[in-house]
Chain A
Amino acid sequence: EPEVTQTPSHQVTQMGQEVILRCVPISNHLYFYWYRQILGQKVEFLVSFYNNEISEKSEIFDDQFSVERPDGSNFTLKIRSTKLEDSAMYFCASGILQGSYYEQYFGPGTRLTVT
């Protein structure tokens, strides 16, 4: 079964550093997302990406965040200057319409720890 993959599984960085989280969505999917989950809290939507552009972003997704699909297979989330409160599990997802229903597939996540 095809799956979404994410690298690295765990990233430790110092406050103020830039990080890039990488995702390889399922190949025939058209919709791409980033979500995050702070430990013990809800899964939160960050951004959706469709047709090579951001289609929607949440309040969390401020100017420190950016997304790219540089080569038609990878989908990246960049945090320019990390803050302690960016520590969370970051999930990439890709989605497709499956006939009469819509399904999003989530990756295993990248645990980001900002020290």
Chain B
Amino acid sequence: LAKTTQPISMDSYEGQEVNITCSHNNIATNDYITWYQQFPSQGPRFIIQGYKTKVTNEVASLFIPADRKSSTLSLPRVSLSDTAVYYCLVGGMGGATNKLIFGTGTLLAVQP
């Protein structure tokens, strides 16, 4: 499984766009990039997943350059409730395990 590197923490203000970048230099051809969000004392929650280029859903956008060695999670107009830990995960899918290997994540603190 590819190792990921992301900032330990980030600060932002309400209404701003937040971009969290993750490095995954050893990503394999069949690996997907997935981002999860975790609030204190809650289970992680799926945000978005992509393989290449750009993916957008109602919550976030995921930008993946052509070499796929990094990815950027973009959260538009954050609010206080977006304060959480954000995890970047890289791995294959469709197999019998599909286990998720979590790193330490990025603690996003949104201030008023």
Contact = CB atoms under 8 A, between A and B. Distances in A.
Interface stretch (B5-13, B15-23, B72-80, B97-105): B97-105
Contacts of A101: 32, 49-50, 93
Given A102-B49, A104-B46, A109-B41, A45 B100 contact: yes
Interface stretch (A11-19, A47-55, A71-79): A47-55
Contacts of B45: 106
A42 B97 contact: no
Contacts, number: 67
A102 B98 contact: yes
A105 interface: yes
B96 A44 contact: no
Interface of A: 4, 31, 33, 35, 42-45, 48, 50-51, 55-56, 89, 91, 93, 95, 97, 100-109, 111
